[in-house]
Amino acid sequence: MIPTRSGLLAELHQQANSKDASFLQRFFKTGPGHYGEGDRFIGVRIPAIRKMLPLADGLPLTESEKMLHSSIHEERLLTLMILVRHFQRGDDCQRKKIVNLYLTNTCWINNWDLVDQSAYHIPGSWLLDKPRAVLKKMARSTLLWDRRIAVVSTYAFIRQGDLNDTFELSRMLLGDDEDLMHKACGWMLREAGKRDEKALCRFLDQHASSMPRTMLRYSIEKFPERKRKSYLGRKSNVL
DSSP string, 162-223: --HHHHHHHHHTTT---HHHHHHHHHHHHHHHHH-HHHHHHHHHHHGGGS-HHHHHHHTTTS
The answer to which of 26-35, 42-51, 59-68, 115-124 has the lowest mean pLDDT is: 26-35
**Whole-number Å distance between alpha carbons of 109 and 118:** 9
pLDDT tens, residue by residue, 123-152? 999 999 999 999 999 999 999 999 999 999
Q: Taking the model in full, what pTM does it have? A: 0.95
Task: Give residue 86's pLDDT band: very low, low, confident or very high (50, 70, 90).
Answer: very high
The mean pLDDT of 61-67, rounded to a whole number, is: 97
For residues 44 and 20, the answer to whether their CB atoms sit within 8 Å is yes
Reduced to 3 states (helix: H, G, I; strand: E, B; else coil), residue 15 is coil
- The per-residue pLDDT for 239 is 41
Mean pLDDT (the chain) is 95
For residues 116 and 46, the answer to whether their CB atoms sit within 8 Å is no
**Whole-number Å distance between alpha carbons of 153 and 167:** 13
Enumerate domains of the chain plus CATH numbers.
1-106 (1.25.10.90), 119-239 (1.25.10.90)
The values of phi and psi at residue 148, to 5°, are: -65, -40
**Residues in Cβ contact with 223 at an 8 Å cutoff, skipping those fewer than 6 apart:** 193, 231
The DSSP 8-state label assigned to residue 56 in this structure reads: G
- Rounded to 5°, the CA angle 221-215-26 comes to 95
pLDDT tens, residue by residue, 89-108? 999 999 999 999 999 999 99
- The per-residue pLDDT for 238 is 45
